[in-house]
Structure 1
């Protein structure tokens, strides 16, 4: 499936844009660091003996740059980072405002603690107090750890001041201009491929095919083109979003805005990314289902399993039903996986949720045996090809066209347009009117006083006429069978005949035959009989002449 996508020339755009994004992120001298959730280092993990005392690390930032990493318990980390950043921000204002002042970071030992001060001019501001636990967590001595942190703070302050100087800002401005130009070029290039992909998608949708293999190939192309189109849309958004974030991270005045934006959109972006990946996986699964069905139908044709257009149509109905069912199952599975992954990414512990879902599923299986029976019966209906979507069936007292079929229900649309829903577990006897071939079973009544042989000749002549008519020959599979006199009814003598037709064409053939037989009877002066009844009665009363009175009344 990946090879099919790569075969398209438009895929070159992905490579170009990917290379552009790589160069922008990793080659350009952009030094802004993105914030991430607190993480646990390997050393910290080894020192953790109690889950409540777990250690996490976090960045102390100045102008959006990470000055040094602080390690502490989760409950204490955020307040310490906030206090240190506020002190650094306060002293840095004096340092940045003065062109002559130098910055010095000193340490002062107090018992088992080390205090770190920042000195600018006449100001001496304490920014951090460290104790033995900070050193033990790192596996070093306290004075060594304090010295390392002091050097990082001093280097961070000097670098922050350098980045506010005119030469650095001019250089960053040039980089920002390059990034913005790359954004425009990448967006224009991607827009071109996006429009081309849109046109291609419309062309594929409008290209209606008649054969099963061609239709399945069209469905596969539609889904693959949809994947490509959505990826190009995503790339278009990424080009501008990443470009703007990178430009904001180039300057010390806007890095805080960059970090604020990233912090705000971090969780929604993760959910959106999981949603996009889930959607693409669903579409790729649809393409894979179409490909598998295409291989199945091609093998059937090559192995001479398909002998006639009707069998070919039947195979198409079956494949269509299986495809609909497979797509429904695949969609449900991927959506469930996507939900669990999204919950896991944003920080929820899904282990209890999975365990609860298992227990709930077990209880649900006992309480919903009818649903299980529906699913099993629905699977057997599809496997045995009892009927498929598009068939005309009669189930019990309900009949109509199968409009929807899944593992749980079958939905029929009857002649009056009503949608009838039947649980698959309630389906025992099914009469399929469109599987393989159909038959028009026609009964024509003629009056008793009409010449029967002449009526049969006319009926046979009209039947042969329809059979030889080029407009109707494609709908009739065999020559009509005149079965002869079927019954003596209240309307007259019933003559029966059969037409073997294509599926679902039996009603059209019967209606056309009745129209022609009516015209032929009128031309031969043979009236169509009305319901009639003959009643004989006898009265056991002697008349004056001594004879019985007898009579009859005919209606």
Structure 2
């Protein structure tokens, strides 16, 4: 019956999860449809009046320069430089580091520098690596200054028809010189041409085409029609960002709600009385606790990912919006150049944190799989769960430390620190530190031995020297106990030599029951055993008792009475609950059978007639009686 009920509960749980997934798909599918509709609407706006879109009647670049109409993208592609007109992807072109962009095109003996107009890279200029008088950066700055001046002059004229870009070979140097409206802009050198594997004349023709296209775009991007188009793009991006942020917020709240429901199940409180579970249900409950803890960790990682995604969405949208307008596009290279190093360090930190969270999730999954596949006895299964929980904490700490050290070394390399000499010096420093921190090494070694030998784990109740408590935290260095007063006790592992584990595999109730001397001892023994047997057969307390109670008999006889001793073997950490309930039942049974409990007795010997009727309470040492003797007849002096 229990198996069938468990299967029915599992089927109901699977059906509820499927219904929840369907509700999520229906709910968030609407968000995707709305976002797609907004994107298509914006694309429709762009097709109707965008100068950058291709049409069958688009003129080539040379004709566009004469008539003021835009050139098709294919014409720009033929010039040797690629300019992306997509407002979503174009602002991200500058994110690539210059060393990556120049990896396949820059000789080691050549300097390069980009020429920018409105924040876009038009082309690159070069200079000899050993030339300190005119570096590539200085040459690019001079060219950019003249180019911006000429572009502003064309804009102020209000007419793009007069744009004239051509090149003329210099008679003295035999190098092409590029002119814009009869004003010299730059000289095409041999290194500029070799950078693209072309001759100087071919490279000059390519640059002429690129400049015509860039200046035409410079002029048209400042016209009211283009600016209104970009305003629509901004509205669309803001709408999509709000929609995406709203969807992410709903996902985050859903994950947070599910995690809050799992937290009480992942950390169940100790129960007593009628809330006790059965022997057969203990192992599934432990596995369920581990599974709930794993799911809670996974949901927490998803929540943090959604938070980071939401921040990145808003930051990225703002960055893209800056690139939509020519008046703010220049801020993009400035921002990229200033935040490139902090952004790399932030990304490295986020990647390291993500790897740690992912490693924690996989560690939980592996340990849950080990616990699920293990089929030992009930006691050993519970012990295995506690041991796996302890190993989980230790392995997670080790993995986090390893990933943190690797990330730290990568960050140092990004900051320009030579890591190889640092690692060489770290070996010598490590030897010195190891000599100075012998206690720390002892803690780690002893902690490792405690784990391997399974002396105790998280969830056990132990006694170490003069302190005792519940093992709340354990790693390779320290063990933390929570005592009955709620105090947290931290013990270095090197100081743990003798351990008393009160909860490993099973526990025991050891009761000493004093009975009065005048009581019927056989009746008391029978009653003590009957109460223990009834508890072992009880539907609530029986599952907590592992074996039939063992009555040891009369363990002591003194002036207080006879002491009866009984042992009751219980599940781990359940000995205190069973002992409390047993004492309650035994007291009720003793009162019903009129069996008195043992009380320490004292015998008074009275010598002579007392001065007053009230006894003084003193005991005479003149008699030869013992403390256990009871005087039934008065002495001779008392009779007289």
Q: Do both proteins adopt the same fold according to a TM-score greater than 0.5, normalized to the shorter chain?
A: yes
8 Å contact 2:412–2:419 — kept in the other structure? yes
TM-score by length of 2: 0.68
Give 1:216's match in structure 2, choosing from 270, 274, 290: 290
8 Å contact 1:107–1:147 — kept in the other structure? no
Give 1:405's match in structure 2, choosing from 474, 493, 503: 474
Q: CA deviation at 1:477?
A: 2.7
Give 1:97's match in structure 2, choosing from 156, 159, 181: 156
What's the counterpart of residue 552 of structure 1?
624
Q: CA deviation at 1:98?
A: 0.8
Is the counterpart of residue 322 in structure 1 residue 398 in structure 2?
no
Mark the CA change 1:366 to 1:190 in structure 2 (over 3 Å): closer, same or farther: same
Mark the CA change 1:85 to 1:421 in structure 2 (over 3 Å): closer, same or farther: same
Mark the CA change 1:527 to 1:34 in structure 2 (over 3 Å): closer, same or farther: closer
What's the counterpart of residue 241 of structure 1?
315
Mark the CA change 1:187 to 1:475 in structure 2 (over 3 Å): closer, same or farther: closer
Q: CA deviation at 1:328?
A: 1.9
Mark the CA change 1:170 to 1:516 in structure 2 (over 3 Å): closer, same or farther: closer
For the residues of structure 2 that align with 1:527 and 1:197, how far apart are their CA atoms? 59
Give 2:373's match in structure 1, choosing from 271, 290, 299: 299
Mark the CA change 1:509 to 1:66 in structure 2 (over 3 Å): closer, same or farther: closer
Can you give the 5+ residue segments of structure 2 that lack an aligned partner in the other structure? 1-19, 44-82, 269-283, 606-620, 628-640
Residues 234-313 of structure 1 aligned to structure 2 (within 5 Å): 234-301=308-375, 305=376, 307-308=377-378, 310-313=379-382
Mark the CA change 1:227 to 1:445 in structure 2 (over 3 Å): closer, same or farther: closer
8 Å contact 2:39–2:236 — kept in the other structure? no
What's the counterpart of residue 163 of structure 1?
221
8 Å contact 2:87–2:323 — kept in the other structure? no
What's the counterpart of residue 594 of structure 2?
524
Residues 10-409 of structure 1 aligned to structure 2 (within 5 Å): 28=86, 31-32=90-91, 33-34=93-94, 36-39=96-99, 41=102, 46-48=107-109, 55-72=110-127, 73=129, 76-100=135-159, 101-104=162-165, 109=170, 118-120=179-181, 124=183, 127-128=185-186, 152-153=210-211, 155-169=213-227, 171-173=229-231, 175-205=233-263, 211-301=285-375, 305=376, 307-308=377-378, 310-344=379-413, 349-409=418-478
8 Å contact 1:113–1:129 — kept in the other structure? no
Q: CA deviation at 1:104?
A: 4.3
8 Å contact 1:392–1:401 — kept in the other structure? yes
Q: CA deviation at 1:300?
A: 0.8
8 Å contact 1:343–1:350 — kept in the other structure? yes
Secondary structure in 2 matching 1:287 = helix
Mark the CA change 1:262 to 1:553 in structure 2 (over 3 Å): closer, same or farther: same
Q: CA deviation at 1:387?
A: 1.2
Secondary structure in 1 matching 2:509 = strand
Q: CA deviation at 1:298?
A: 1.7
Secondary structure in 1 matching 2:503 = coil
What's the counterpart of residue 49 of structure 2?
none
Secondary structure in 1 matching 2:330 = helix
Q: CA deviation at 1:412?
A: 1.7
Q: CA deviation at 1:160?
A: 1.9
Residues 357-506 of structure 1 aligned to structure 2 (within 5 Å): 357-446=426-515, 452-464=521-533, 466-467=535-536, 470-489=539-558, 491-506=560-575
Q: CA deviation at 1:141?
A: 6.8
TM-score by length of 1: 0.77
What's the counterpart of residue 608 of structure 2?
none
Can you give the 5+ residue segments of structure 1 that lack an aligned partner in the other structure? 1-6, 49-54, 536-548
Q: CA deviation at 1:255?
A: 0.9
Q: CA deviation at 1:464?
A: 4.2
For the residues of structure 1 that align with 2:304 and 2:576, how far apart are their CA atoms? 46
The number of aligned residues is 522
Mark the CA change 1:409 to 1:456 in structure 2 (over 3 Å): closer, same or farther: same
Q: Tell me which protein shows more strand as a share of its residues.
A: 1
Q: CA deviation at 1:254?
A: 2.1
For the residues of structure 2 that align with 1:238 and 1:43, how far apart are their CA atoms? 31
Q: CA deviation at 1:494?
A: 3.2
Secondary structure in 2 matching 1:417 = coil
8 Å contact 2:516–2:599 — kept in the other structure? yes
Secondary structure in 2 matching 1:483 = strand
Q: CA deviation at 1:498?
A: 1.6
Q: CA deviation at 1:295?
A: 1.4
The answer to which of 247-256 and 219-228 deviates more is: 219-228
